[in-house]
Chains A and B, each alone.
Chain A
Amino acid sequence: MKELVCAFRPWIFLLTRRRRVFLIGAALALTTIVAGLALLGLSGWFITACAFAGIALAAGLPSTLDIYVPGGGIRFFALLRTVARYVERLYNHNAVLTLLADLRFKVFGYLTHLDPATLSRRRAGDWLTRLTADIDILDNFYLRLLMPPLVALLAIGLLSLFIALWLPGLAVIVGISLGALWAVLTLGFAWLGFRQSYQQVRDQSALRNRVLDQIQASAELESYQTRRWHQTHIEALEARAGANQRRLAAKSALGNALILLVTGVLLIGALWLVSQAALVGDITSPVAIMLLLVVLGAGELFTALPSAFIKLGASYASVQRLNQLTPKAVSDEQLCAVFPEGAPGVSVTLNDAGYTYPAMLAPALSGISLEVPAGARVAITGVSGAGKSTLAHLILGRLAPSSGSVMVGVQAPYALSNDERANGFAFLSQQVDLFDATLADNLRLANESADDEALWQALERVALADWVRREPQGLQTPVGEKGRKLSGGQARRVALARLFLRNPSVVLLDEPFAGVDSDTARHLAASLDQWLEGRTAIYFVHQIDDVSLLPGLTYSHSLRHGQLDLSSV
C-alpha cells in the first residue's frame, strides 16, 4: 500500500498542479448529475401534485396548484443537464489531452538523459510501450480514477442532505448504503482486479516484443522454416493473456451487476419507507414521490466506477515503469563544463581508467593509461568485445570511469553537457543510426544549416555523390527504417558524411572502412586525411591491414580483454 502511494505521488502531484482546471471540471460534472436528479425529482413531484389536485377538483374540493414555477424548473433542468454534460466532457478531455502532451514531453526528456549502458539494455519496443501506452494509462487516472469517485461522493452527500430535509431516517439509509457501494466499487474493485490488470499491461508488452521479434527475424524464421515454432510462443503468450483478461472482464461485469442490485433493492426499500411516511402524514405524497425518484436516479452516479477501478493495477504497472526512467544522474542544466578550446585539436589523457557495466561481474576496461597529444592520430586495435566501444564512450564522457581519470585537455568529459560534447567531439559508432527520413534530413542531423552544396561536398568525400545523382529523388531519397533501403556499406558512408558536416576538435572513428571495397576505402582515407588536419583523431579498428589507409598515424595501441598494450606502427 505504501509502495502504491509512493509510486503515484509524483504523478498525482503533476495531475493536480492545474488545480483550477480540475475543480472546474469536477464542478461541471457535479452540475450535470444534480441537474439530472433535480429533473427527475421535480417531475415526479409535479405529476403527483397534479394527480392529487385533479382528484380534489374532480371531487369538487377547492385546490390551488402553481403550475408555472415547477414547469419552468423542469424545462430549466432539462436544458441544464444537456448543456452541462456537453461542456463538461469537452472541457475535461481537453484538459486531459493537454496533460498528455506535457507528460510525453517530460518522459522523452527522461530518455534523452540516459547513458549508453542503459540505452543498449532496453528494447526499442519497450520504450514505445512506455511513451504511448503508459502515459495514456496515467492520463486515464485523471478522468477515470480521480474525478468520477470524487464527484460521486459529493453527489451522495448532497443527495443524503436533500433527503434529510424531510426524512432523516431514509437519508441515513441512503447515505450509508450508497457510501458502502461507493467504497466497494472504488477501493474494493481496485483490490479485486489489481493483480490481473497489472498482469495485463505486462502481457501486452511481452506480446509486442514477441511480435516485433517475429517481424524482425522474419528472414531467419522463413528460411529455417521455424516461423510456426516461433509463432507458438506468441500463441501461448496470447492464450495466457486471454485467460487473464477473461477473469478481469468477469469481475468488471460483476461491478455493473452489483450497481443494479444495490440501487434496485434500495429503491424498493425507499418505496416502502416513503409510503409509510406519507401514510402517517410525515410528508406529502408529492414529496414522497420526489424522494423516491431521486433515489431511482442515483444509479447513474456509479456507472463509470467499476470498469475504471478494476484497472488500477494497470495504472500502477505504468507508473512503476515511468518512475524507473527518472534520471538519477545529474541533469543537463547542472553540467556547465565547457569543451576546451584548442588548435590543433585537444589532447586526450586517460590515467589508470577503468569501467564496469552495472550488473556485470568483470570490468569491461581496467587500468587504461593513454596519452594522445593534441592534433595527433592514434589507432586502438582489438577484436570484437575487447572493450573498444566502452573506451570510446569513456573518452566521449558518455560513461563516467569507475576508476581512474579521463581528461580531454583540462576537462573531464563526463562533466560536459550534451551540447558541449556534441560540439567538441565527432564519433562514428560501430552501429550506424539512420532515421526514417530523406538522405538530406539524415545528413542535416549533423548540421541543420548546411546547404545542398555542403551536403553534396560531404557525399563526394565518401564517394556516394555519383550514386545519389543516379537516384531519381537525389538528396530527397528516403533511406527507410534503420537505413534499410541502403546497403550496409552505404549506410556507414552516410554516417561518415555526417561527420564531415561538423567541426569537432576530437574525432573518434570506429571501423571507418568496414563494408567498403578497397578503392572506396582509399578514397575515404584521403578525405579523412585532409579533414582531420588540426584535429585529434582516434581510430578504433580490429587490426591494421593497410597502414596507408591511416596516414599520419603516430602510434597504435592494442586492446585485449579490457587492457591496453603499446605497440608501434
Chain B
Amino acid sequence: MRPAPHPPATLTPRQWLKQLAQVEKKRLLGAAVCGVLAGASTTGLLVGLAWLVDQILVHARPLSELSGVFLILLALVGLRAALQWGQEALAFEASLRIRQRVRVSLLDKLATLGPQWLTHHQSGALATQLVEHVDALEGYFARFHPQLRIVLILPLLIAAVVGTLDYVVVIFLLLSAPLIPLFMALVGMGAERMNREQFSAVSRLSAHFVDRVRGMSTLQLFGRTAKARRDVWYATDEYRRLSMKTLRLAFLSSAVLEFFASVAIAVVAMYVGFGLLGYLDFGPASSLSLFSGLAVLLLAPEFFQPLRTLSQHYHDRATALGAAESLVFILNEPDWIVHEHSSPEHYQALCELKGVSIGYPQRGAILSHVDLTIARGDILALTGASGSGKSSLLALLAGFMAPQKGVRSRRSGQIAWLDQSPCLIQGSLAENLRLANPEASEGMLHQALARAGLGELLASLPYGLETPLGERGVGLSGGQAQRLALARVYLSDAPLVLLDEPTSNLDAATEALVIEALNAWARDGRTLVIATHHPQVLTIATRHLHCEGGRVLEVTP
C-alpha cells in the first residue's frame, strides 16, 4: 500500500484533507457525476409527470395513448435508483481507501517519533486518534465531498430547465440561491469551531477514562470510586453541553435551508396560481399552463434539494476537520528518531558519542558533554540516582531520541531491549516471544523459555505456546514477565543489549536468572549496557559509568 502524501513542515487540516481527496479523485469525481445524473433523472421524471397531468386533465387525452410516456418515466425511475446506488458505493470505496492510507501513514509517523516521544503522550488518546478519529473522516469523503460538487452543478441544471419553462421563477430561484451559501457560511464557521472543541473534549474524555479504569483498584482501595464516577458524569455532561452548542448552530443551517425550500414552494405556488388565474400581466405569467406551472412548482424544491443534502452532511465536514486537526498535530511533530548515516570510525566500536547533550524540548539538557565509546564485548554498568539521566542515556543509545548537541554514530542493526516493565502485547505467548524474532521456530521458543526459567510455567499452561496473555503482564506476575523479556533477548541475535534496571522488583530466583543471563550473554560476546544498582551486576561489569550532576563519569576500579 502506498503511504498517504507526506506532509510538509506545517500542514493545516484543510490542506491535508484536500491532499487526501486528491489521492482518490477519480472515484470521488465518479460519485459526483452519478449524483448529478441522478438529479437530472429526477428533473426529467418531474417534468414528464407535469406534462402527463396537463395532457390528461387539460387536453383530455386518453391514457392508452400516453402509455409510452409512462414507460419512459418508469425507466427514469430505475435509472435514478441505479445512479444513486453508484454514487454511494463509489464514494464509500474512496473513503475506505483514504482511511486505510491515513492509518498507515500515522503508524509510520509514530514509528519515527519513537518510544521516548510516546512515553510523553497518553497511549489511550493516541489509540483513539488512530482508530476513532481516522474513522471520523469517513463521512467527509463518503458523503460531503461528492455532494459539494453536486451542489455546484445540479441546481444550475435545474435552473436551466425551469428557465425554459418560466424565467420569472428562475430569477426568483437564482436571487435566493446566493443567500444560502452566505447563511451557511456564517452558521458553518461557528459550528466548526464548536466541533473542534467537542473533538478535543471527546479525546480528553477517553484519556480521562482509561486513566481511571487502569487505576480502578486504587480508587476502590482509597474509597474514591464515587468521586471518580461523579467526575465521569461531569466530563460527560461537559461533552453534552459542547455538543448542544454545536448542534444548535448546525441545525440552524439546516433550518435556513428548510425555510428556503418551503418558501420556494409557497412563493412559486402563489405566482403560478395567480398567473393561471390571469391576475398577473407581467412577463411570462400570461403564457403559464398547468404543465409549466406544475413543473416549476415541483422543480422549485428540487433546486434546493442538493443544498439541503449538503447541509445534512455538513457535520461530516466539521467532524472530519476536528479529527484532521488532531491527526495533523501528530503529523506535524518533528521526528525524534533520526537515523544517522555515520558508523563509528573504529571497527571495534559499536557506538560513539562525541560531545553529546541529552534532553527534552521543555526541560533542557539532562546530561551534557558526554563522550563515550562502546566497544564490542564491553559490559558497561550505568549507575546514578533516580532521575540522573541513566534511562535517557539508554534511550539515546537505543536510538529512541537524537542528541540535542554533539555527534552520535552507531552500527545499524537490531538491539535487544529490556526494561523494568516489559510490555506484553495482546496475543499468544508465542507471539509475545516472536516480537524479538518473528522467524523463530517453535523449538527456539521452547529453548529460550527454558533458558529464561519459564520451562515449568510453559509445561503448566493448558495451551502451551498458544496461551493468550493480557495487558501489562496481568496473568503473569512481575517476575514471570521479566523472565519473558529475558527469553526475548535469548531469541534475538542482537550484538548490543540495553537493560534498564533489569533486577529491580524481582524475587531471588528470578534475580539469579537475570544475573545468569547477563553472564551467558557476556560469554556469547554480546555487548551489554546495564543501568543498575545491584552489587552483583556491578561485579560482572567490565566498565562502570556514573551519572551525576548532568555529567557521565567513568569510574575506574
Contacts and interface: CB of A to CB of B under 8 A. Distances in A.
Interface stretch (A118-126, A185-193, A402-410, A546-554): A118-126
Given A100-B236, A105-B232, A223-B414, A112 B474 contact: no
Given A227-B111, A264-B45, A275-B56, A48 B423 contact: no
A565 interface: no
B60 A279 contact: yes
Contacts of B406: none
Contacts of A77: 262, 266
A207 B205 contact: no
10 contacts: A53-B277, A58-B278, A101-B240, A250-B89, A253-B88, A253-B89, A256-B85, A422-B222, A487-B386, A488-B421
A482 B107 CA distance: 23
Q: Taking each of B120, B268, B276, B480, which has the highest tally of chain A beta carbons within 10 Å of its own beta carbon?
A: B276
Contact of B387 (A208, A220, A481, A487): A487
Nearest to A511: B505
A429 interface: yes
Given A47-B290, A213-B425, A285 B57 contact: yes
A252 interface: yes
Interface stretch (B209-217, B340-348, B542-550): B209-217
A567 interface: no
B229 A90 contact: no
A278 interface: yes
A207 B88 contact: no
Interface stretch (A17-25, A81-89, A366-374, A524-532): A81-89
Given A222-B337, A481-B211, A514 B504 contact: yes
A303 B211 CA distance: 40
A224 B210 CA distance: 28
B470 A120 contact: yes
Interface string A44-70: 101111110111011000000101000
A533 B93 CA distance: 70
B302 to A, nearest CB: 11
B96 A128 contact: no
A45 to B, nearest CB: 9
Given A50-B277, A383-B510, A418-B223, A261 B77 contact: yes
A191 to B, nearest CB: 20
Interface string A183-224: 000000000000000000000100111111111111111111
A16 interface: no
Interface in B46-92: 49, 52-53, 56-58, 60, 63, 70, 73-74, 76-78, 80-82, 84-85, 88-89, 92
Contacts, number: 449
A481 B277 CA distance: 76
Given A220-B488, A222-B417, 4 more contacts: A128-B210, A234-B107, A419-B223, A422-B224
A275 to B, nearest CB: 4
A116 interface: yes
Given A90-B247, A245-B96, A288-B57, A480 B120 contact: yes
Given A112-B229, A217-B425, A105 B63 contact: no
Nearest to B55: A275
A43 B488 contact: no
B251 to A, nearest CB: 5
B185 interface: no
B85 A124 contact: no
Q: Most A CB atoms within 10 A — which of B290, B400, B419, B501?
A: B290
A476 interface: no
A210 B498 CA distance: 25
Contact of A258 (B81, B121, B480, B510): B81
Contact of A75 (B73, B210, B266): B266
**Considering residues A114, A214, A254, which has the most beta carbons from chain B within 10 angstroms of its beta carbon?**
A214
Contact of B391 (A54, A55, A487): A487
A211 B400 CA distance: 19
A168 B425 CA distance: 67
B517 interface: no
A249 B96 CA distance: 10
Interface in A478-533: 480-482, 484-485, 487-490, 498, 502, 511, 514-515, 517
Contacts of B211: 435-436, 481
A402 B417 CA distance: 41
Nearest to A447: B222
A253 B146 CA distance: 15
Given A50-B273, A128-B209, A85 B107 contact: no
Contacts of B373: none
Nearest to B504: A515
Interface in B184-222: 202, 205-207, 209-222
B251 A89 contact: yes
A68 to B, nearest CB: 11
Nearest to A518: B533
A326 B209 CA distance: 18
A272 interface: yes
B154 interface: no
Interface in B80-120: 80-82, 84-85, 88-89, 92-93, 96, 100, 103-104, 107, 110-111, 114-115, 118-120
A78 B127 contact: no
A177 interface: no
Nearest to A70: B273
Given A51-B58, A384-B510, A433-B218, A223 B263 contact: no
A229 interface: yes
A224 B276 contact: no
B463 interface: no
B210 A93 contact: no
B478 A225 contact: no
